[in-house]
Amino acid sequence: MVLGAAGILTVPTAEAAVLLRKATAGIPPDTLVRADALRTVLPVAEVLGPATLAYVSDVEFRPVSTDHAVARLSVKHPDVLALLATAGHEDAGESGLGEISSPAFVILDGGEAVAAAGYRIWPGGTAHVSVLTAPQRRGRGLARTVASAAVAHALDAGLLPQWRARPEPSRRVAGALGFREVGAQLSFRLEFGA
């Protein structure tokens, strides 16, 4: 992970820590989130990312004004579960919506959830925001609307909203709400014994 001009690597084992410490010594922090650069010094087997990391304060937040009613539901509500299923495993997983600890902020159309957002509380008072829109409803501003409600809720609770995104449309939604990109994250699995 790189935030500003600082980078940090976290690893699951002492063996991996020794390997990473040696391989990345002297590498500029911004290189730590470039898979092509890491592959030149490490036995990288799989990569996820990079994803941008963005944050917003109550001063920078630009809430969305809308005519859409936003309901608060449990993430386990049948309508939210149906949205997760409709979006498909990959999009639902990318969104992280199934892991939120806040209420789900949902737009319903004819009893069907077409967009939802919420957040999961992470250490340090961070509210990791998750957003999902039904595939056939994307590009209509629904993600901005539900995300705005979730971010307002997090800020009211004294939390720092965080947005982590790979897809450009998600990054645009974050930018429209006032989030500022300050870093990036890359996850990778090393291949030992190759």
For residue 193, what pLDDT is reported? 57
On whether both 23 and 77 belong to a single domain, the answer is no
Q: pTM for the full model?
A: 0.82
For residue 27, what pLDDT is reported? 79
Count the domains in the chain.
2
On whether both 133 and 78 belong to a single domain, the answer is yes
Q: Measured between alpha carbons, how far is 115 from 138 in angstroms, rounded to an integer?
A: 9
Residue 65: count other Cβ atoms within 10 Å of its Cβ.
Answer: 7
On whether both 21 and 95 belong to a single domain, the answer is no
On whether both 61 and 30 belong to a single domain, the answer is no
Q: Any idea which residue has 């992970």 for tokens?
A: 1
Q: Is the dihedral of CA 134, 136, 164, 71 positive or negative?
A: negative
On whether both 93 and 168 belong to a single domain, the answer is yes
For residue 152, what pLDDT is reported? 97
On whether both 71 and 159 belong to a single domain, the answer is yes
Residue 164 forms beta bridges with which residues? 53
What DSSP assignment string belongs to 19-58?
Answer: HHHHHHTT--GGGGG-HHHHHTTS-EEEEEEEEEEEE--T
Q: Measured between alpha carbons, how far is 148 from 194 in angstroms, rounded to an integer?
A: 47
On whether both 69 and 93 belong to a single domain, the answer is yes
For residue 179, what pLDDT is reported? 97
Q: For residue 148, give its domain range.
A: 57-178
Q: Any idea which residue has 């990778």 for tokens?
A: 188
SS (HEC) of 153-183: HHHHCCCEEEEEECCHHHHHHHHHCCCEEEE
Looking at residue 74, which CATH number applies to its domain? Answer: 3.40.630.30
Identify the segments of the chain with pLDDT beneath 70.
Answer: 192-194
Q: Measured between alpha carbons, how far is 24 from 141 in angstroms, rounded to an integer?
A: 42
Residue range 59-100, pLDDT digits in tens: 999 999 888 899 999 999 999 999 999 998 988 888 999 999
On whether both 12 and 76 belong to a single domain, the answer is no
What DSSP assignment string belongs to 122-162?
Answer: ETTTEEEEEEEE-GGGTTSSHHHHHHHHHHHHHHHTT-EEE
